[in-house]
Amino acid sequence: MSSRMLRRLDPSSDLELLAEVAQLLTQFDMQRVLGRVIRLIANAVGASRAHLFLHPNYELDWRNIFQTDRLDPDTIFTASVGGLDSGLPGLAVEERSGILVRDVMMDDRRYVFGSELRDAQSALAVPLICNQDLMAVLLLLHPKPEHFTDNHFRLVQIAMNQASVAVHNARLENHVRSGRHQFQAVLHAVNNPMLVLNREGQVQMMNAAAERYFAAAEIRLKLGRKLVDTVQDDTAFNRIIDIIATPPSGEDHWLFKAHSEQRNLHFDVLMSVWENPMQGESGFVVMMHDVTTLIELDRFKNDMLRMASHDLRSPLALITGYCDVIEMDLPPDMPQLLGYLEAVRRTTTRMDNLLTDLLRIERIQSSPLELYQPINVEAMLATIIENSLPGANQKQQQLLMDFHDLPEQIVADPIMIREAMENFVSNAVKYTPDAGQIIVRAFARGTAFYFVVEDNGVGIGEEHLPKLFTSFYRAKQAGTEHIDGTGVGLSLVKTVVERHQGKVWVESQVGIGSQFGFWLPLSS
Ligand code: ADP
């Protein structure tokens, strides 16, 4: 008993040790701190050796906290990953608590002890539990029995609890750091200029694309400088600077176009507010998507369309004209030539239709629609039926009408909407065999006006349905090979309907028939 008393640390040095450990653990360099803390504890309790068994589940954390392979090998302290599934450390893991072995030879649990207790007669095993995770076990050894006391045990446990708080903080710090690295990697991988600004418009962060932009524009924008002080000469930033100066209230993001007159570049800019309520910080994130190439391509496309309309149309008209002349002069005994002429005429007509459709796309996409004209629904439906009847009659098809609960008027672009409706009906006529049936339905339900055309024609395979409303898409359905078309009509219907805030749909089954429809919102 007395020998044990002799080995007890006096309370003031206990406190000193804990104060020293606490002080050490406030330092950031966990790599060295943890090693020093353990050496300190080992010295304080007079251990001959200390070994930290690191749980392999947290190997990544440990690697970030201290690199085991870089620890100076010394006589007192070693650390290694693993070794926690057996022996005394395994027991500490199982019990999730510290174990004091006063005398290895006399201990009831000696049968589970392993080589970790070689040359030791007394031992202490204390787990390091961090936020519920058992991350390691510290094993302290002494060559003589009865060396470690209850007091030592308590002291080591308290010191390890302190260490666990520091390890927890180090893990959090690593987590934040790796999040920051990931964020930086994303930022730099984005090929469009991106800026993070504070409320005053000072640059907090910018990506490589932004740096390249400013370098090419000879703008010396450094971190911490105000955007307004450096980019006044580049019109691309006009609106951005306005928003920083007076952010429109109630909005937290803005999407707009910007043009750098100086560099002749066009951007789609997305600017949004960021906030960190914990620290009362806020600011803006600016992403500038360079759309110059798209705009140039669009211009090129428009030029091509314009050229198509004039330069291709006239030769086509000439070809058709000459066909007529040749036909008139053709001797009656040459029916084969007449067939050739017919083929030329058919092809030119198809090319002409294609040009007409191309120009319609261009017209619809670039011109503002007359969206707000009141239209008399009944009158418009009557016109559509009247225009569609000749085609249906030619194929001996039944054209039925089911109009009910019609609104008196809808507000839309009259020509575009009528063409969209006629497109559904003419397609139904086109893709329904002779003597088929077509039903045209129109009605108002809730706050929408519905227009639906059903036929019992060839139908469309399921695989085509998702692409049917894209430009130039034609579903190559067996039995429709001889039907002429450009694949443009439905895409125009979709564009027109969506520009009226409506929606199109199609349902169809091969060999049974199709249903095409759209709805438009009714103005309240
Ligand atoms: P086009 O009729 O000139 O080919 P559309 O854009 O009007 O172009 O139609 C696209 C495709 O949708 C057509 O090629 C056809 O395969 C299919 N389609 C459209 N309406 C019907 C219908 N009522 N029945 C069967 N197929 C249809």
Count helices and strands (H / E) in the chain. 15, 17
Q: Is the pLDDT of residue 1 over 60?
A: no
Question: pLDDT (tens digit, 9 = 90+) per residue, 409-463?
Answer: 999 999 899 999 999 999 999 999 999 999 999 999 999 999 999 999 999 999 9
Residue given tokens 């068994």 in the structure block:
53
Give yes or no for residue 492 CB within 6 A of ligand 1: no
Q: How confident is the model at residue 28 (pLDDT cuts 50, 70, 90)?
A: low
Ligand 1 binding pocket includes 121 (Cβ within 6 Å):
no
The 10s digit of each residue's pLDDT in 317-338 is 899 999 999 988 888 888 888 8
469 touches ligand 1 (CB under 6 Å): no
Which H or E element spans position 254?
strand 253-260
pLDDT of 197 strictly over 80: yes
**Ligand 1 pocket check: which of 452, 454, 465, 474 to mutate, most ligand atoms within 8 Å of Cβ?**
474
- How far does the centroid of ligand 1 lie from the alpha carbon of residue 475, in Å? 7
Q: Domains of the chain, with CATH numbers?
A: 14-177 (3.30.450.40), 190-290 (3.30.450.20), 295-366 (1.10.287), 370-521 (3.30.565.10)
Report strand pairing: 437-445 vs 398-404. parallel
Q: Are 235 and 219 a contacting pair, CB within 8 Å?
A: no
- The pLDDT, as a whole number, for residue 8 is 42
Q: Which atom of ligand 1 has the smallest separation from the CA of 469?
A: 6
Calculate how far, in angstroms, residue 115's C-alpha sits from the geometric centre of ligand 1: 81
How many Å lie between the centroid of ligand 1 and the Cα of residue 488? 9
Atom 13 of ligand 1: nearest residue by CA position: 474
Mind giving me the DSSP string for 43-106? HHTT-SEEEEEE-GGGHHHHHHH--GGGSPP-SSEEEEE---SSHHHHHHHHHTS-EEES-TTT
Is the distance from the beta carbon of residue 515 to the nearest atom of ligand 1 less than 6 Å?
A: no
Q: Of all atoms in ligand 1, which is nearest to the CA of residue 480?
A: 16
Q: What is the pLDDT of residues 289-298, one digit of tens each?
A: 999 999 999 8
Q: Output the pLDDT for position 314.
A: 85
Question: Which tokens go with 354?
Answer: 């294609």
d(CA 411, CA 418): 12
State what percent of residues in the chain have pLDDT above 90. Answer: 56
Instruction: Find, among 19, 47, 253, the residue nearest to 147 by Cα.
Output: 47
With beta carbons less than 8 A apart as the criterion, state whether 517 and 504 touch. Answer: yes
pLDDT greater than 80 at residue 212: yes
The pLDDT, as a whole number, for residue 306 is 77
Average pLDDT over residues 152-159: 92
Predicted pLDDT at 73: 55
How far apart CA 238 and CA 220 sit, in angstroms, is: 17
Looking at per-residue confidence, does 19 or 99 come out higher?
Answer: 99
Distance 469 CA to ligand 1 centre (A): 9
Task: Determine the residue of 422, 427, 465 to mutate for testing ligand 1's pocket, defined as the one with the most ligand atoms within 8 A of the Cβ atom.
Answer: 427
Find out whether 204 and 198 touch, Cβ atoms under 8 Å: yes
CA torsion through residues 357, 363, 366, 368, sign? negative
d(CA 409, CA 379): 10
Average pLDDT over residues 43-64: 87
- For residue 486 and ligand 1, the question of a CB distance below 6 A is answered with yes
Backbone angles phi, psi at 422, to 5 degrees: -65, -30
* E strand or H helix at 207: none
Count the residues in the chain.
Answer: 524
Say if residues 242 and 272 touch (Cβ distance below 8 Å). no
Between CA 61 and CA 67 the distance in angstroms is: 10
Cβ(44)–Cβ(17) under 8 Å? yes
